[in-house]
């Protein structure tokens, strides 16, 4: 065998060695009961046709590779954005392992969360004892300042009542009576991670604001970023812009430091996050601004109920979207947008103009969360590109109508198609039957890239197979410049591959473009 103590091979070259090729071929023949190669080839070719596309898009009872995750993942991410907060998921231990691994694989950082470890007996008799013991252990072992409780499918199916369970746990001295334990019911079998995020942020605000008297402080603003895999770069960029303007603001749910801890010899289970005292004071803000409307629908409704003005946006990326955010912040705060920021805007526009000949008319397929897809489609049209396919598995009919209105406002969007509730297997059919130049999404799109040959640009959560993208902003003018560069790099890389054959295609293997 090629592997030895003196010659350690990574799995990629190791499995290409003759011994492993033979082993894998024998396994396929003897254990997988494969169909003849011709049948497989014929079926593969059929899946590329318009006939198959119609059958594929008509699916109702089956979902294949949805571009979303489940509610509790969003709740765990939301909890990570508050000071010394431990996420406590009432449900099975395996579910929590999934949420932790999903976040840590994207951010390349530890993602802390605990579970009530419900098993078969709890599924029959209820999980109260698990809650009582679990809260006590969490409080004693991890020294949190707050424990944020959410649920999985198991707890929701049997109908466990979090409010009463938490009260019973306090009666049994699991945690002190005045210790903060906000909660949100997050059934994983409905909605998606954006709904879980929304529920947990609303639950935390309601926990601290309910019954409190509000005394409005004019010009102050709450910023809710939404579920954002690029929060490390985005939150810091937005704070920089707000600080340049001199705005008085509070970031509600700031996970930028929690998922970007330094290596300096000290392990930080908790780092950064919105301070509890700031959450309490945030009740008095004049307005709450959401950077992602469809991530915060219930939270914004609650903010309006307590008397705050609200302003929702769709992931402020690109020129016009950033303009609208900054102008709204300026109107609320009374602070002018400084010349420094105006110059940044001009530089982004200049960069777009410099590259216009390479961007104009490019066709895109975009998938991800509703706000991200909306924002990316808008930016693509600003560059002269055409967002041909816009897909959000967790998109609603309201999102679909809103995006169609945006697309209809530009000649670059006139042929665009919006797909709410569809999955990535549907996207595969779309790419085969109506090909595009570029695909924008997350790491799951690499299989679409392999099957269809459509170059993938990774710009949204989760990104597992590339490192450190989340450390750089996508929002704001600087973020728009980063997105523009990523798109252009992919265009030029593809052109280099297509023109690299010496003496055949290299007449266009240009040094200067």
Burial, 4: exposed, middle or buried (Cβ in 10 Å; 0-12, 13-18, 19+)? exposed
How many H helices and E strands in the chain?
Answer: 22, 12
Q: Which residue has the tokens 């049209």?
A: 381
| 114 is annotated as an active-site residue | no
C-beta of residue 95 within 8 angstroms of C-beta of residue 115: yes
Closest CA to 282 of 208, 180, 181: 208
Task: Name the active-site residue from 89, 96, 153, 181.
Answer: 153
User: Which residues does residue 220 pair with via DSSP β-bridges, in sequence order?
Assistant: 248
User: Could you give the dihedral angle defined by the CA atoms of residues 286, 292, 295 and 296, in that order, rounded to the nearest 10 degrees?
Assistant: 10
**How many CB atoms are closer than 10 A to CB 418?**
23
Closest CA to 105 of 81, 73, 72: 73
| 153 is annotated as an active-site residue | yes
**At residue 109, what are phi and psi to the nearest 5 degrees?**
-140, 155
C-beta of residue 377 within 8 angstroms of C-beta of residue 401: no
Closest CA to 513 of 380, 356, 382: 356
Active site residues: 153, 157
């Amino acid at each position: 065998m090629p592997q030895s103590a003196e010659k350690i091979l990574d799995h990629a070259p190791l499995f290409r060695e003759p011994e492993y090729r033979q082993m894998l071929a024998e396994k396929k023949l003897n254990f997988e009961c494969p169909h003849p190669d011709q049948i497989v080839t014929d079926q593969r070719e059929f899946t590329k046709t318009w006939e198959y596309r119609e059958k594929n898009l008509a699916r109702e009872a089956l979902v294949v590779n949805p571009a979303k995750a489940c509610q509790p993942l969003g709740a765990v991410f939301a909890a990570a954005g508050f000071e010394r907060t431990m996420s406590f998921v009432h449900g099975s231990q395996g579910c929590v392992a999934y949420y932790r691994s999903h976040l840590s694989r994207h951010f390349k950082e530890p993602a802390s969360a605990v579970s009530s470890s419900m098993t078969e007996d709890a599924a029959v008799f209820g999980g109260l004892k698990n809650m009582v013991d679990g809260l006590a252990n969490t409080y004693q072992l991890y020294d949190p300042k707050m424990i944020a409780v959410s649920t999985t499918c198991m707890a929701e199916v049997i109908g466990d009542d979090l409010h009463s369970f938490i009260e019973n746990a306090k009666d049994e001295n699991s945690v002190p009576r005045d210790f903060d334990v906000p909660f949100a019911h997050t059934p994983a079998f409905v909605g998606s991670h954006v709904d879980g995020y929304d529920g947990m942020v609303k639950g935390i605000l309601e926990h601290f604001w309910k019954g409190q008297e509000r005394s409005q402080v004019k010009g102050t603003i709450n910023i809710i970023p939404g579920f954002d895999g690029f929060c490390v770069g985005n939150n810091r960029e937005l704070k920089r812009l707000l600080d340049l303007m001199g705005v008085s603001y509070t970031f509600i749910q700031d996970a930028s430091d929690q998922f970007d801890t330094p290596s300096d010899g000290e392990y930080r289970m908790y780092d950064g996050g919105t301070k509890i005292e700031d959450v309490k004071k945030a009740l008095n803000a004049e307005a709450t601004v959401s950077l992602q409307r469809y991530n915060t629908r219930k939270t914004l409704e609650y903010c309006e109920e307590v008397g705050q003005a609200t302003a929702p946006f769709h992931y402020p990326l690109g020129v016009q979207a950033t303009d609208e955010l900054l102008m709204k912040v300026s109107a609320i705060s009374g602070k002018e947008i400084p010349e420094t920021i105006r110059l940044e805007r001009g530089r982004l526009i200049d960069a777009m103009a410099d590259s216009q000949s390479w961007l104009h008319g490019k066709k895109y397929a975009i998938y991800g969360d509703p706000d991200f897809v909306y924002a990316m489609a808008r930016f693509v049209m600003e560059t002269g590109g055409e967002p041909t396919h816009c897909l959000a598995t967790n998109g609603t009919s309201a999102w679909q109508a809103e995006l169609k209105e945006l697309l209809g406002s530009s000649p670059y969007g006139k042929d665009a198609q919006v797909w709410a509730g569809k999955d990535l297997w549907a996207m595969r059919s779309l790419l085969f039957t109506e090909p595009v130049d570029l695909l924008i999404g997350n790491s799951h799109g690499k299989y679409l890239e392999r099957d269809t040959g459509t170059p993938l640009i990774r710009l949204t959560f989760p990104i597992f197979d590339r490192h450190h993208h989340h450390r750089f902003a996508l929002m704001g003018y600087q973020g728009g410049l980063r997105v523009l560069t990523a798109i252009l790099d992919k265009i030029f890389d593809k052109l280099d591959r297509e023109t690299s054959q010496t003496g055949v295609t290299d007449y266009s293997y240009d040094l200067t473009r």
